[in-house]
Structure 1
Amino acid sequence: MASNRPAPQGVYVQNDDDFGGYEDQSWEEWNPTEESIRPVRGRHRVHKKGGGGLARSSTVLGVGVIAAVGAGGIATAQGGKPPVSIEMPDMSAVTDSLPEAKSLPGVGSLISDGSDDSASADNGVTTAAAPLSAAGLSTADAEQGTTDAGEALRARIMEQAENQQDQADDAVQKAAEEAAVKQAAEQAAAKQSAAEKKIAADKAAAKKKAEAEAKRKAEAERLAKLAKSFTLPVASYTLTGTFGQPGSMWSSGYHTGLDFAAPTGTPIKAIHSATVKEAGWAGAYGYRTVLELDDGTELWFCHQSSMNVSVGQKVTTGEVIGRVGATGNVTGAHLHLEVHPGGDATGVDPAAWLRGKGQSL
């Protein structure tokens, strides 16, 4: 096979233009063959010269700029420090010679726009969905349209503060509701206790009233029964002197009996069944008859004009034992009645005793 000589080595001289490029000064015609253009394998590799090296350097610089911008955003969001100002060189002259950034190893995954997700997944490489400039942003922030990390942090802080305030308000409201429930329960308990006390008091009052009514009825029945066995000493009278009435006309200084004023000769009746204990003259009492009841009570009938019984005689209720008169120490015709329970010298109020026996004066 025919072979050509190897490709000539170029001599590069820097141009004087503003782009800082190089110009090949050893230009000559060269006819390449398959042997002359076969790539060298093994330890040696063919390196691109001129624009290729500059393109790779520019790409690395671009990646550095992207990382710096992202870092500046994070610093601003977290510490509030101003971002670092980076001056970019004019790369317009070599734009056409730059390879696509996503074709570079380790760089394509950082700036992927999602179009190569399937290819990356097939190669087992996981790619980042968000650019470096969006560092610190969550999915919720992105959905809300937040693009600034500092604003997103502020929004989270405000949201947390609002949540804490809501929790505090809920706690206050819950405490107020619990206090209201407790107060209502206490008021209900107090009302119930008051109602129970009132019911108990009403029951006690009703019971007391019923007992009093029963006692009154019993007393009325007793008096009604006694009334059949007791009677007043005279049928028609006027009370002119009461028990305990003070006056100098009485030797004891007060009146010791009950006076029934009536015309002389008015019949005097036995108040109850009794035995005649005395019948005769008694000084200041004039003619006096003393009846003794079964319980030992003595009844004194004084100032009689005449007596119809004798000592030891048994009399019954309503039986006539004498007549009204004005004998003894008197100022007019009347019956002086005294009551001495158990035969005691000191008597009791005859009016009260008679009422106790069912008699009405």
Structure 2
Amino acid sequence: MASNQPAPEAPSPFTADGFGTYDDQAGSWEEWNPTAESVRPVRGRHRVAKQRGLARSSTVLGVGVIAAVGAGGMATAQSKPPVSISLPDSFADNLPDAKSLPGIGSLLGGDEAAAAAAASATSTGVASAPLTSAGITTAEAEQGSTDAGEALRARILQQAEQQQASADAEAKAAQEAKAAEQAAAEAKKQQDAAEAKIAAEKKAAEEAAKMKAEAERLARLAASYALPTSSYTITSTYGQAGTMWASGQHTGLDFAAPTGTPVKAVHGGTVKSAGWSGSYGYRTVLELEDGTEIWYCHQSSMDVVAGQTVTTGDTIGRVGATGNVTGPHLHLEVHTAGGSGIDPMAWLTGKGLSV
């Protein structure tokens, strides 16, 4: 076992201010003998360490210095006087070289120590990157990032930017979808309005065409139909109630006119009968092509005979006051092919005539 030798004493830092004097010729310090006046009482638990325990405490101190330097240089032994450290041969032989420790060799030595530390780290599988590089991805390391905090901050900012971009994209997509929906609704509204307008125009055109066709039909009918007399006044209408008629109501349409006013055929047809007919006086029955019968009553005279064919507007008799009357007039009745009486005014109006 190696012996513990006391460390050489360093030159005393005392100056010539009462602690000692320095001999320039001899090159040494003279001994300073303290007195009771110059020495303050020792208080507390201060003790002078014995030389015997120096080796063990120096070993602990050396390991602590190495650990402190390896932890980042928080402590240094350069400011302290050199200390002789002695260890048992078996223990000292098994201690690793401080320069070979990961992250410490580069702090203790120059480039050679750094290279040795890097080689040791590579052989032991320990990363040689700085402690602050923990958490840096390979891609970030390739981009030159060496600070984990900055790399984390960059990742957080990048993630925030991505989230903001995603939110902006979603908002933009929602706005575009809403705009497209509004545009589609507006287009549909315009299309519906256009279709409604077209339908209305078509319906109006159809109604106009229908009215025109009806007018043309009535014009043709009016051309082929005529009023039974002229210069007249309507005095009684169809269905009018009163005691003057045996049935209790009027069965025809009365055209009051002076005696002798011509009576005309309302349409072409055949004279079915012409003669006296009791309360009707002189009556002419004109049968049309569809079987409709037109009765001309109370005539003063008749110009046609049964079986005679007439055309629209031909004179068939004269207005009179024969039969059961109160004055000269033409009593006109209209009967269907089945024999039922209908309103003469409605029938004439339906033929395009204005009564």
Task: With the length of structure 1 as denominator, give the TM-score of the two structures.
Answer: 0.62
* Cα pair 2:240 2:249 within 8 Å, conserved: yes
CA positional deviation for 1:56 = 8.9
* Cα pair 2:7 2:83 within 8 Å, conserved: no
Of 332, 335, 339 in structure 1, the residue corresponding to residue 334 of structure 2 is 339
Distance in 2 (CA, whole Å) between partners of 1:112 and 1:330 is 149
* Cα pair 2:274 2:305 within 8 Å, conserved: yes
Of 179, 182, 204 in structure 1, the residue corresponding to residue 199 of structure 2 is 204
Indicate the percent of aligned positions where both proteins have the same amino acid: 47
Question: 2:64: which partner in 1?
Answer: 61
Question: 1:328: which partner in 2?
Answer: 323
* Cα pair 1:111 1:131 within 8 Å, conserved: no
Distance in 2 (CA, whole Å) between partners of 1:95 and 1:244 is 150
| Superposed counterparts of 1:65-84, under 5 Å | 65-68=68-71
- Partner of 1:217, secondary structure, is helix
Could you tell which deviates more after superposition, 349-358 or 244-253?
A: 244-253
Question: 1:318: which partner in 2?
Answer: 313
Does structure 1 residue 360 correspond to structure 2 residue 354?
yes
Of 215, 222, 227 in structure 1, the residue corresponding to residue 222 of structure 2 is 227
Against the structure 1 CA distance between its residues 94 and 330, is the aligned structure 2 distance closer, same or farther, given a 3 Å change threshold? same
CA positional deviation for 1:130 = 6.4
Does structure 1 residue 266 correspond to structure 2 residue 261?
yes
Does structure 1 residue 350 correspond to structure 2 residue 339?
no
Question: 2:39: which partner in 1?
Answer: none
Does structure 1 residue 190 correspond to structure 2 residue 185?
yes
CA positional deviation for 1:124 = 8.1
Question: 1:213: which partner in 2?
Answer: 208
Distance in 2 (CA, whole Å) between partners of 1:167 and 1:337 is 98
CA positional deviation for 1:54 = 10
Give 5+ residue unaligned stretches, structure 1: 1-10, 20-50, 74-85, 98-102
| Superposed counterparts of 1:1-361, under 5 Å | 60-68=63-71, 92-94=80-82, 105-106=99-100, 110=104, 112=106, 116-117=110-111, 125=119, 134=132, 136=134, 152=149, 156=152, 170-342=165-337, 344-361=338-355
Question: 1:83: which partner in 2?
Answer: none
Q: How many residues align?
A: 291
CA positional deviation for 1:274 = 1.8
- Partner of 1:196, secondary structure, is helix
Give 5+ residue unaligned stretches, structure 2: 12-53, 86-96, 122-126
CA positional deviation for 1:219 = 2.8
Task: Tell me which amino acid in the other structure corresponds to 2:347.
Answer: W
Against the structure 1 CA distance between its residues 228 and 167, is the aligned structure 2 distance closer, same or farther, given a 3 Å change threshold? same
CA positional deviation for 1:165 = 5.7
Cα deviation code 1:211-264 (max 9, x no counterpart): 333333333333333333221111211122222333343333333222211112
Task: Tell me which amino acid in the other structure corresponds to 1:93.
Answer: P
Cα deviation code 1:1-54 (max 9, x no counterpart): xxxxxxxxxx998699899xxxxxxxxxxxxxxxxxxxxxxxxxxxxxxx9999
Against the structure 1 CA distance between its residues 197 and 108, is the aligned structure 2 distance closer, same or farther, given a 3 Å change threshold? closer
Distance in 2 (CA, whole Å) between partners of 1:294 and 1:137 is 113
Aligned-CA RMSD value: 4.7
